[in-house]
Amino acid sequence: MPEKIRAMVCDDSVVIRRLVADVLAADPEIEVVGTAVNGKNALDKIPLLKPDILTLDVEMPIMDGLQTLIEVRKTYKKLPIIMFSTLTARGAGATLDALERGASDYVCKPANVGSLSESMEAVRSQLIPKIKSLTGRAPIAPVARAARPAFGAPPPGAPGAPGRPGAAAAGAAGPLKAATLGNRVDVVAIGVSTGGPDALTTVITALPANFPVPIVVTQHMPPVFTQLFAQRLNAKAKVEVREAAAGDPLKPGVVLIAPGDWHMRFKQAANGPVVVLDQGPQENYCRPAVDPMFRSITEMFSSHVLSVIMTGMGSDGHRGAEQIIRAGGSLIVQDEATSVVWGMPGAAVQAGLPCDVLPLGKLAEVITSRASAARSGSAPRRTP
């Protein structure tokens, strides 16, 4: 048996400290090696306890989570750190600050739950998968390869499912082929999760102000966080970035980010495709989820979609990307070396989807080249 994951919990609330420690200790793969009541206490204990991962409360007296993170990163540059945040504007802002300064991920403290057992389950469902992914203990789940007839079938009731419009095209069997490199790109659709805020910032801020097509993004994030993240990204980027609202048109050079707790889809309006938001069932344990966005954007733009799957745990996006490829569109995935967690990109690769695997630093350049090439008459080059 592999050694247990050594976890350390830092929170000034004795109730939360005990709740998190009990949830983690109940997992047979995790050992809680210690707790800390504030950041200063944590800094003193880390060299003694040598944790594999640290959970860090955002708001604490004496030394808060952000100050602690900055100090920890001076010595422990690769220690995975998960911020524990409140689902408020203040908590979201502090958490985004922490992600910019090197936090690995975050979870939200349970809110509006009726019992201790519900609180524990809320923490367990969020925290344990992230701990295992960030410490390399969560292998990519087996993914059906594209050659299997059942692969690519959307969930029942989804666009493209049997009995819904587009079913024949979306569920078509047969081998997948890479899109023709000179194929015109009319929209870029990006799916991302763990590590996404920092990775998206790297990509979006590198795009030119005259980026020629719309960009739609699903980042796994809760409400409040997506709005603040979009506002921050807009302040840094040359293109316009905002949280999507129902009825928003898709415009060149505008980045629309799915709002927390809402799937983002699209419909045809008089002047072109517009955003539709819904709170349908979670997909891949997520809402917003990448797959419904990918399916819907394919219905609007057919073969002219460039899809991008970036860092993130789980496998959300690979089934929707398969439909994009079947329609004649293309896929780029972030490589393992530059991903915080190579779950979502790795699932697409493991499924055998034709795609280009690129490091984070090359994504903006290649996305811009592909989106601009057919309009300028130049031929984009396939990055090896």
Active-site amino acid positions: 193, 220, 316
Determine the Cα–Cα distance for residues 142 and 314; give it in Å rounded to an integer.
11
Backbone angles phi, psi at 32, to 5 degrees: -85, 110
Determine the Cα–Cα distance for residues 116 and 280; give it in Å rounded to an integer.
27
Determine the Cα–Cα distance for residues 362 and 311; give it in Å rounded to an integer.
14
Task: Classify burial at 307, counting beta carbons within 10 Å of its beta carbon; exposed 0-12, middle 13-18, buried 19 or more.
Answer: buried
Q: Which residues, at least 6 apart from 384, have a Cβ–Cβ distance to it below 8 Å?
A: none
Angle separating helix axes 225-236 and 196-204, nearest 10 degrees:
30
Strand, helix or coil at 183?
A: coil
Q: What are the tokens at 99? A: 């992600």
**Peptide bond between residue 288 and the one before it cis (omega within 30 degrees of 0):** yes
Q: What is the residue whose two structure tokens read 């990519």?
A: 140
Determine the Cα–Cα distance for residues 264 and 300; give it in Å rounded to an integer.
13
